[in-house]
């Protein structure tokens, strides 16, 4: 999905993706917004693109669910992460439900400039060590930035928040 620069707002809502790899590339203008919400990803991966000029507050992936019924594909450019990449750290990942299983993990952030905001998600666990094991970022020495996932929901009911996530001793 590639957004064009002549529109100020794009949305991808209420869709279901099964066995699909989706790449989202928003407009490069800082005044453009993209809202991805209420989507269901089953055995699917989403790659979030951006550019240095993209909005840092208007690119949002929210209120979506990520689950699996089988192992991730091993061929081509697939990885074992539901969300792979977030160029320039521009996307905000919030209020989603992740169910890591069958070899799938939640998120990989490898862009080396800036950090990623991912608050208010149910990560499939209420334990920060388990959450960390399903997020690949600066804390894994992968060359990318840090994923700030706090506060996070302590259950799939999404009624109570925990602020005890893991943070690096110094930010990249």
CB-CB contact of 90 with 54 (8 Å): yes
> With pLDDT > 70 as the criterion, what percentage of the chain qualifies?
92
Per the structure block, which two tokens stand in for 125? 């666990």
pTM score of the predicted model: 0.91
What is the spatial distance between Cα 138 and Cα 155, in angstroms, rounded to a whole number? 25
Q: What is the pLDDT of residues 87-114, one digit of tens each?
A: 777 889 999 999 999 999 999 998 887 7
Instruction: Output the furthest CA–CA distance in the chain (Å, rounded).
Output: 44
Q: DSSP letter for 122, please.
A: B
CB-CB contact of 64 with 40 (8 Å): yes
Position 116 pLDDT exceeds 80: yes
Burial of 75 (0-12, 13-18, 19+ CB in 10 A): exposed
Lowest model confidence (mean pLDDT) among 48-62, 127-141, 156-170:
48-62
Backbone dihedral region for residue 146 (phi beyond 0: left; psi -120 to 50: alpha; all else: beta): beta
Position 8 pLDDT exceeds 80: no
Position 66 pLDDT exceeds 70: yes
What is the spatial distance between Cα 107 and Cα 98, in angstroms, rounded to a whole number? 10
């Amino acid at each position: 999905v590639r957004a064009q620069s002549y529109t100020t707002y794009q949305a991808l809502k209420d869709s279901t993706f099964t066995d699909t790899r989706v790449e989202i590339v928003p407009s490069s203008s800082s005044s453009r917004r993209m809202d991805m919400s209420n989507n269901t990803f089953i055995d699917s991966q989403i790659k979030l693109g951006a550019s240095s000029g993209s909005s840092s507050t208007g690119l949002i992936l929210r209120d979506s669910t990520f689950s699996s019924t089988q192992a991730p594909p091993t061929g081509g450019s697939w990885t074992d992460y539901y969300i792979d990449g977030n160029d320039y750290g521009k996307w905000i990942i919030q209020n989603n439900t992740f169910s890591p299983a069958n070899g799938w993990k939640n998120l990989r952030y490898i862009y080396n400039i800036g950090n990623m905001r991912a608050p208010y998600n149910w990560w499939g666990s209420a334990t920060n060590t388990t959450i960390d094991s399903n997020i690949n970022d600066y804390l894994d020495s992968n060359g990318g930035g840090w994923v700030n996932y706090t506060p996070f929901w302590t259950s799939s009911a999404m009624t109570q928040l925990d602020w005890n996530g893991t943070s690096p001793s110094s930010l990249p």
